[in-house]
Chains A and B, each alone.
Chain A
Amino acid sequence: MLLDLQGIQKHFGGITALESGDLQVEAGEIHALIGENGAGKSTLMKIVAGMLRRDGGVLRWRGEVVDFRRPAEAHQAGISMVHQESLLAPHLNVAENIFLGREATKGPLLDQGHMEDEARRLISEHGFPLDAAARVQELSPAQKQLVEICRALNSASSLLIFDEPTSSLSDAEADAVFRIAQNLRERGMGIIYITHRLAELRPIADRVTILRDGRTVHTGPTAEVSTDQIVHHMVGREVSSIYERDNHAPGAERLRVDLPNIQFALHAGEIIGVAGLMGAGRTELCQTIFGITPAAAGSISVDGRPVSINSPRDAVRNGIGLITEDRQRTGLTLSMPISANVTLANLDGVTRNGFISRTAERSVAERFRKRLHLRAASVDQPVGRLSGGNQQKVVIAKWLFRDAKILLFDEPTRGIDVAAKAEVFALMDELARAGAAILMVSSELPELLQLADRILVMRDGAMVTELPCSTTQQQIMQHAAVAS
């Protein structure tokens, strides 16, 4: 037994993050660790990696009770972690990042050449598309993730923890990460893999441990548990994992996009899905419509009138709202309360005689809290303290209060749990029924197939085809990945 966790506890102030975390990992195994947001997965792994100290329970490493006080101590024991968020130094190059904190030296000086050689060796050994001398800030999110992995591999000898590395990766890139995990397993390493992507993990994981509300509620071989059972363990109640949407006739044209490489019309009551690999230009499409990167050529029309959208401000004025793929960075002001976030795009709506009315603002936020089933103690709570799903609802509320008729959802379910996903889908459906025109970008093909009336497939910055909602994942992938 490589790692044995028994009844691990962790409290932050009055909040219990972990009540009783149990986990056993053998050498040569891929162990999936799953659970809803806030279930305590990351906290448990940070304790293993020496980033947090436990308040109770027993941590055994190779049979001995240990206590890692610093990440360096866990490294020395042979444990390393690939982090959820990028912890790289953007101005340093790939090799320098891989060796950060463990620099090779020649006397008092850095041994730059040795580090670059070693980095190159590591990169080519795994066949990563990386240049050891490239600056990290010039890399794509997926490549950054690979640098993180190299960094972990460079120090880990026995146990490697992946904390949701697939959340910013396309399917093809996620597959590559899975292959790496499998290779490492062949070499006898233990792998802990935290993920939301149940379906994809299933084929490669040997065992699965499920956390709920800070407790381990299930552990066992992956083959012996069904997806429905996993979902049941995660949320502790029955949920329909699939949201069914019936088709209905679209209304009047709301948005017409006529750009050199992409043309389509979006109607009231319609949900158009946009599929494509990472880097296919899906997010860029949203950003162009929303005025962040205005179109150099072509035209955009709203309600049949050509409009010029050169800034988000123009877009908002034309009734367009963007639910961004990175809500914490671009969608929300985390330190401000729910009420202020909801009203931010439409302060005029709560302004009386030139002054913002707190009463009006609270009652608006309260209304959306009820309507969107927002789980929060009060609308005065800072948004930063909400779960991912509830944060997403605040972003949606912001655009609903602004009365946006055209909603662009960029990866609406990224980083939110299964139950909240179903709620977001139900909400999108409800909005479409009420006449909203929705453009939905998603890397999760099953989600697109469930929700969209038709699906645009993009590749290399251009739209390659439009498919009906009766299409299949295979068909979409063919168009998205293969040149026709």
Chain B
Amino acid sequence: MKFNSATWQRLLPFLSLAALFVFLSIATPNFLTATNLAAVVRQTATINIMALGMTLVIVSGGIDLSVGAILAFSGTVGAMAMAQGLPIPVGIAVGLVCGLFWGFLNGICTTSLKIPPFIVTLGTLGIVRGVTLIISGGLPVVGLPRQFESLADGSFVGIPSVLLVLAVCAVVTHVVLHSTKLGRYTYAIGSNTEAAVYAGIPVARYTIAVYAISGMLTGLAGMIEASRLMTGQPTAGQGYELQVIAAVVIGGGSLTGGEGSVIGTLIGAFIMGLLSNGSDLLGVNPYVQQALIGAIIILAVAVDEARKRRFRQ
């Protein structure tokens, strides 16, 4: 690989993450400790897993604003199942199916009603949140089995179990995106939908699949969130959609479709996670944190756009 300036710019998100890591290790005594790093991983796992699904959606040229609401719905319904006495694996499966269902519905609406996904998912964001509040009566679901805690807080040979779950999801998503028909078609649809139709690709079917997968990953994130809180919170995940989209975009995803990668997204999500954790450790005002993250998003995308412009010329 030639190390010209384009390569450097491509590596920039990764280098920023590394720089941030080194800076925080030096600047604060408590950053580089197993406890803190495990906490960072646990805090970011939810966003990270949702961002994997969002990467598929964004690469396909779509957007999903309803993921925060889907997270709450899945967590709440999965928790209700367990509170009713169903075994933990069944409860988790219920959460996944809930996410899959809403994702599927998002896909159906965008493809058959021909409504732009921004509008569809803005609508389902409201519907799903409303339904969640209705079925839960607005109250958190409590009385979950003790062992359910270990999904979010457990460890396996010293590694946080959520990190393992995230790693498995990331590897699978990466392979799907780069080495399967589904992944190739996702890029093709996002780059040029019409050309994809003209090549005989069943565009609607694959688009629905992409939203369904994203929904299912969000369902999983919902169960992790429920495990972390040990309640099914009908109000969980508010505003998560923006953090998730930000992670994909910081990692090089393009909202016009056709661009984005799992590795980029993970870096994007971890940059945001470290910023938030580091600000806490450094005692930065949380209000300032919000503004900071907003500025980082704009900066990251500006740099990425500059790289793409050079590439095009």
Contacts and interface: CB of A to CB of B under 8 A. Distances in A.
A, B in one complex: yes
Interface of A: 12-13, 290, 292, 311-313, 315-317, 322, 324, 329-336, 340, 344-345, 347-348, 351, 354-356, 384, 398, 402
Given A354-B180, A356-B181, A317 B198 contact: no
Given A333-B191, A335-B258, A336-B191, A351 B198 contact: no
Given A329-B195, A340-B184, A355 B200 contact: no
Interface string B150-182: 000000000000000000000000010001110
Contacts of A332: 192, 195
A315 B197 CA distance: 11
Interface string B77-94: 000000000000000000
Nearest to A327: B195
Contacts of B198: 290, 292, 312, 322, 324, 330-331
B201 A313 contact: yes
Contacts of A13: 310, 313
Nearest to A320: B200
B191 A330 contact: no
A330 B193 CA distance: 8
Interface of B: 175, 179-181, 184-185, 187-188, 191-192, 194-202, 258-259, 310, 312-313
22 contacts: A13-B310, A290-B198, A292-B198, A312-B199, A313-B201, A313-B202, A322-B198, A329-B192, A330-B192, A330-B198, A332-B192, A332-B195, A334-B191, A335-B258, A335-B259, A336-B187, A347-B184, A347-B185, A351-B181, A355-B175, A356-B179, A398-B199
A334 B256 CA distance: 14
A480 B313 CA distance: 43
A332 B197 CA distance: 11
Interface centre among B187, B194, B200, B201 (most CB of A within 10 A): B200
Contacts of A345: 199-201
Given A312-B200, A329-B195, A345-B201, 7 more contacts: A313-B200, A332-B192, A333-B187, A333-B188, A333-B258, A344-B184, A402-B200
Contact of A317 (B180, B200, B259): B200
Contacts of A322: 198
A333 B192 contact: yes
Interface of chain B: mostly helix, strand, loop or mixed:
helix
Nearest to B258: A335
A284 B180 CA distance: 34
Contacts of B194: 329-330
Contacts of B313: 12-13
A344 B201 contact: yes
A316 B191 contact: no
A333 B196 contact: yes
Nearest to A384: B312
4 closest residue pairs by CB, A with B: A316-B200, A355-B179, A345-B199, A333-B191
B132 to A, nearest CB: 36
B74 to A, nearest CB: 28
A113 B175 CA distance: 60
A330 B200 contact: no
A474 to B, nearest CB: 35
A344 B181 contact: no
B180 A356 contact: yes
Contacts of A356: 179-181, 184
Nearest to B188: A333
Nearest to B205: A313
B202 A336 contact: no
A428 B175 CA distance: 38
Nearest to B313: A12
B312 to A, nearest CB: 8
Nearest to B259: A335
A440 B194 CA distance: 21
A333 to B, nearest CB: 4
Contact of A344 (B175, B199, B259): B199
A329 B191 CA distance: 10
A93 B117 CA distance: 29
Nearest to A356: B179
Contacts of A336: 187-188, 191, 258
Nearest to A324: B198
Nearest to A290: B198
Interface centre among A329, A335, A398 (most CB of B within 10 A): A335
Contacts of A331: 195, 198
A101 B170 CA distance: 49
Given A13-B310, A355-B179, A356-B179, A344 B202 contact: no
B10 to A, nearest CB: 15
A341 B198 CA distance: 12
Nearest to B181: A347
A335 B180 CA distance: 19
Contacts of B192: 329-330, 332-334
Contacts of B181: 347-348, 351, 356
